[in-house]
Amino acid sequence: MIPVVMPTYSRIDIVFERGEGAHIWDTTGRRFLDFTAGIAVNALGHAHPYLVEKLTEQAGKLWHTSNLFRVAGQEQLAKRLCDLTFADTMFFTNSGVEAFECAVKTVRKYQHDIGHPEKTRFIVVGGAFHGRSTTAIAAAKSEKMVGGFGPLLDAFDQVPFGNMNELRAAITPQTAAIVVEPILGEGGIVVGSDEYLKALRDTADEFGLLLVFDEIQTGVGRTGKMFAHEWAGVTPDVMPIAKGIGGGFPVGACLVSEKAAKGMVPGTHGSTFGGNPLAMAVANAVLDVITAPGFLEQVTVTGDKLKAELEALVAKYPTILAEARGKGLMLGLKCVKPNGEVVTRLRENGLLTVPAAENVIRILPPLTIGDAEIAEAVSIIDKTCQELAQ
């Protein structure tokens, strides 16, 4: 008999009932150290007191009005994100994949409205993940997501991540934009070099293309900058974000320059729930914390410390771990053993992590972790590697 919840997930048989900071407790009372952060969503950990205060305050006033009206908090959040980035405007969504869909529409409408309706195709890279809508899986072209869902939108020309020669060779008169994650997350925590990101910007400008950086996972402080592309000193034209901006509340946004937003006029796009008052209250609160003086610098310091500890474990257990990689607190451990086996054993020992491609496990703790949580995590990984080495 089919489960009452559609069986599209291979769920682990644990139900969590409460969380606090980097720790989370299941219904049996067992405590885990959560280095998944809801897959980079709970940027400030579980039940952050300030987020709880702001959400509760808004919940007692107004939940939803639709986008028929101006929405409390939207313009404030949009102004703050514009001031922090290249963007001049944005569209609020409920999720990352909706922000990605908005990016695709924005690009096509821009090219159409400047007199290039033939430019409808996108250069994308292998190993990327943009979500699970039919458009997003057509862009990623991962066999495990695409199988059985065709025919998909034929608009994406895929090239290897980091390879500018193949990317330039794939550009045709129909190409509208280049779409890249600055760091592949699902793809195995593969960091795009500063030179690569700069070359993407230069190439987009050379061929009259828009540049889209998908910062759904890498954004909102995860790498130690507000957005990962800032490390390279370049900016995109369009940028879908989500995950960390809501700190656990469903919210996303598509950030766009005034030039690229040329075609997005009344009637071209919409959302029933996107950017509702609850989401805006939480996202503004997340920004209050992340933009506080010294917060992002501390993420870099903490990330460097954790990465150094992971590198020491790689050196200590070469038959279990092959490499520590990543930036800020978006880290990965490439495994020698099957990553699923390592993730399972870590969980049994009390540490939650996320598997990714290339036999990598993602290490995505809350941005607020301190030395005690790092020491606890390293101790669990050390113990787990000892067990796996026997």
DSSP line for 245-311: GGBTB--EEEEE-TTGGGG--TTS---SSTT-HHHHHHHHHHHHHHTSTTHHHHHHHHHHHHHHHHH
Mean pLDDT of 87-98: 98
* Average pLDDT estimate for 50-64: 98
Q: What is the mean pLDDT of residues 81-88?
A: 98
Q: Which of 88, 86, 94 is nearest to 67 (CA)?
A: 94
Inter-residue contact 185 to 290 (CB < 8 Å): no
Segment 52-65 mean pLDDT: 97
Q: Is 272 annotated as a binding residue?
A: yes
Cβ-contact 187, 127 below 8 angstroms: yes
Question: Taking the C-alpha atoms of 282, 285, 289 and 290 in order, what is their torsion angle to the nearest 10 degrees?
Answer: 60
Q: What is the pLDDT of residues 268-307, one digit of tens each?
A: 999 999 999 999 999 999 999 999 999 999 999 999 999 9
Average pLDDT over residues 324-347: 98
Q: What is the dihedral of CA 302, 305, 308, 313, to 10 degrees?
A: -90
Q: Has residue 358 got a pLDDT over 90?
A: yes
Give pLDDT, residue 143.
83
CB of 290 closer than 8 Å to CB of 367: yes
Cβ neighbours for 112, distance < 8 A, ≥ 6 positions apart? 263
The residue type at 338:
P
pLDDT at 229 over 90: yes
221: left (phi over 0), alpha (psi -120 to 50) or beta: left
Mean pLDDT value of segment 240-252: 98
Model pLDDT, residue 94 = 97
Residue 271 among known ligand-binding residues = yes
In a domain, 71, yes or no: yes
pLDDT at 144: 84
Q: Is residue 36 part of a domain?
A: no
How many domains, in total, are found in the chain?
1
Per-residue model confidence as pLDDT tens digits over 184-221 = 999 999 999 999 999 999 999 999 999 999 999 999 99
Q: Does 142 appear as a known binding residue?
A: no
**Does the annotation place 258 within a ligand binding site?**
no
Q: Is 217 annotated as a binding-site member?
A: yes
Does the global pTM surpass 0.85?
yes
Token reading at 341: 């086996």
Q: 13-30 burial, b for 16+ CB within 10 Å, e for fewer? A: eeeeeebebbbbeeeeee
Q: CB under 8 Å to 154, separation ≥6 — which residues? A: 138
What pLDDT score was predicted for residue 207? 98
Treating both helix axes as pointing N-terminal to C-terminal, what angle do 295-316 and 277-290 enclose, rounded to 10 degrees? 80
What amino acid is encoded at 229 in this protein?
Answer: H
**% of the chain at pLDDT higher than 70:** 100
Tell whether 201 is in a known binding site.
no
Mean pLDDT over 324-346 rounds to 98
CB neighbour class for 259 (10 Å; exposed up to 12, middle 13-18, buried from 19): exposed
Q: Give a yes or no: residue 278 inside a domain.
A: yes
- Per-residue pLDDT of 137-160, as tens digits, reads 999 998 889 999 999 999 999 999
- The rounded mean pLDDT for the chain is 97
Percent of the chain with pLDDT over 90: 98
Q: Is the pLDDT of residue 242 over 90?
A: yes
Instruction: Tell whether 132 is in a known binding site.
Output: yes
Annotated binding residue 129: yes
Q: Residue 7 has what DSSP assignment?
A: S
Residue-level pLDDT at 100: 98
Task: Answer yes or no: is 351 within a domain.
Answer: no
Name the residue type at position 176.
Answer: A
Which CATH number does the domain housing residue 224 bear? Answer: 3.40.640.10
Residue 42, Cβ neighbours under 10 Å: how many? 28
Mean local confidence (pLDDT), 332-348: 98
Domain span at residue 86? 50-291
The per-residue pLDDT for 72 is 87
What is the model's pLDDT at position 261?
98
